[in-house]
Amino acid sequence: MHAAQILINALVLGCLYACIAIGFSLVWGVLNVINLIHGSFIVLGAYLAFALYYLLHLSPWYAVVVAAPLFFVLGYLLQRLILNRVITAPVLVTLTLTFGLDLILNNAMIYFFRADYRKLTLAPPLGSISILGVVVPVDRLIATASALALTGILYLLLRRSRVGRAIVAVRLDRDAAVLMGVDVKSIYAIAFGLGAALAGCAGVVMALIFPISPLTSSGYLGKAFVVCVLGGLGSVSGALAGGLLLALVAGVGSTFFGPSHATTLSFVLLIIFLILRPQGLLGRKGFE
């Protein structure tokens, strides 16, 4: 029974981790940019859900619908106006640039929203359900379902739509995509916009479960790093596999070594994977 509970917890947490990481993975895979603003975007999304719930009494389900286009536009503009200028520069420049942008956004959030931890509490609490002795809180269940839905939508978008195929084409071979008539600049901006939109939606989902504060952004970012490296870059299934593996390791690790060592364990796992299997669980060699 104990093992089943750990497994269910890992499953729930794994889907949430995947949801945190897919946007990051998409941007890294397609633009070859490590997007350090990702964590702050997630927190901003959480604040959006918080504000909509308490100011306009809109439930978080609608907040997803508001967040997606808003963050898409934000990400699109950010890429077009700033990141596009250094997109061909070495990793040091793009990484430091997104770090600078993250400092600005994070400081702005601390300035306007304060660093206090807040919590979005739904007015009638949803409670929890228990099946055969395994307890799952309903809000986590709903968050997991939304996370899976977001992942599914991205998967369908990349698979079925024209834009999605163009994004995959640019990811596989930029130059060949140009020769096939793909407008790489606009695809870059769309991919970054999609990454931002996914981060915003992930933030809304996280607001249901975790406390909200600008200080939590680095935690989300760290999770995104680990999930991407574990699962493999740029693919939706890779993010899911990485999220599940990370949650499983963190869950089992904190059961055996105590919760304070879970973070250390996940980063040690990250370094081991980087060295032994840099393409990740589901990635193909030479594909990065």
Partner 1 sequence: MTRVNVSLLVLIACVAALPLFGGAYALRLGTIACMYSILALSWNVVGGFAGYPSFATAAFFGFGAYATGVLMNDGLPLWLSVVIAAAAALLLAALLGAVLLRLRGHYFAIASLSLVEVLRELVNNATDLTGGGMGLNIPLVAGSSVMSDATFFFYAMWGLFLATALMVMAVASSKLGFGLACIRQNETASSMVGLNTTFYKSLAFGLSACFVSAAGGVYAACVHYIDPSDVFDILYSVKPIVMALMGGLGSPLGVACGAFLYLGLEEVVWRNYVQIHTGVLGLLIVMLLLFLPHGLISLRPGRFRRRAKHV
Q: Which residue has the tokens 């395994």?
A: 134
Supply angle C-alpha 22, 26, 28, rounded to 5: 115
Q: Nearer to partner 1 by C-beta: 73 or 82? A: 82
Q: What are phi and psi of 284, to 5 degrees?
A: -105, 145
Q: Nearer to partner 1 by C-beta: 67 or 78? A: 78
Q: What are phi and psi of 118, to 5 degrees?
A: -120, 165
Query: Distances from the Cα of 176 to the Cαs of 33, 138, 184, in angstroms?
Result: 20, 47, 11
Q: Nearer to partner 1 by C-beta: 96 or 128? A: 96
Q: Nearer to partner 1 by C-beta: 150 or 224? A: 224
Q: Nearer to partner 1 by C-beta: 156 or 178? A: 178
Tell me the three state secondary structure of residue 161: coil
Tell me the three state secondary structure of residue 212: strand
Work out how close the CB of 85 gets to partner 1 at its nearest, in angstroms, rounded to a whole number. Answer: 5
Work out how close the CB of 270 gets to partner 1 at its nearest, in angstroms, rounded to a whole number. Answer: 5
Work out how close the CB of 50 gets to partner 1 at its nearest, in angstroms, rounded to a whole number. Answer: 21
Q: Nearer to partner 1 by C-beta: 14 or 29? A: 29
Work out how close the CB of 107 gets to partner 1 at its nearest, in angstroms, rounded to a whole number. Answer: 3
How many Å apart are CA 40 and CA 46, to the nearest integer?
A: 10
Work out how close the CB of 197 gets to partner 1 at its nearest, in angstroms, rounded to a whole number. Answer: 22
**Footprint of partner 1 on this chain (CB under 8 A)?**
28, 32, 34, 82, 84-93, 95-97, 99-108, 111, 218, 222, 225-226, 229, 260-261, 263-264, 267-268, 270-271, 274-275, 278, 288
E strands, the chain, where? 128-131, 134-137
How many Å apart are CA 88 and CA 161, to the nearest integer?
A: 27
Work out how close the CB of 93 gets to partner 1 at its nearest, in angstroms, rounded to a whole number. Answer: 6
Helices then strands, each counted (H, E), the chain:
11, 2
